[in-house]
Amino acid sequence: MRHRQASVRWIGAFLLVFSSLAALTGEATAQVKAEKAFTAMVTDAQGVDTEIRNLIFYWEEKVSETAFVPHELRHLPVKRGSTTNNIPFDKIKQLETKPAGSEGITVLVTLANGKTGEFVLTIPGSFRGESDFGQADVPAKSVAKVVIK
């Protein structure tokens, strides 16, 4: 009888731990799924259009000679004057780029509400996501235009 009670306790403990882990995993999955996916038509400097689904702005932070930390953003990190902005993709209608010399890349942002602003990209990243032909990665320095759908 004692073996049976001990077995029931172990099974009960296992089920409690398993259900707790399942609940935590479900919450984490729900948070990841809650992020909005963006689709954009990206035109590169050569005039080639690529439709990119699940668009992110990607860059890697160098933490040592051999280690990098990847960053996947759903906003555009830009600067105008001494002000730094992180413009969310859901507010952007389109952006156009042009070289800014030693300052980096100038970005003309048109918001969904029609307002426009000229900024300098703060990070030399790339626009990344999925295309019909697999993963697409377009460096910001070679982007002419991005239209977010």
Tens-place pLDDT, residues 79-106: 999 999 999 999 999 999 987 666 689 9
Q: Are 97 and 105 in contact (CB under 8 A)?
A: yes
pTM of the model: 0.73
From CA 29, how far away is CA 98, in angstroms rounded? 38
Any idea which of 4-8, 48-52, 74-78, 86-90 has the lowest mean pLDDT?
4-8
- Pairing relation of β-strands 143-148 and 75-80? unpaired
How far apart are the C-alpha atoms of 23 and 108, rounded to whole Å?
A: 44
pLDDT tens-place string over residues 36-71 = 899 999 999 999 999 999 999 999 999 999 999 999
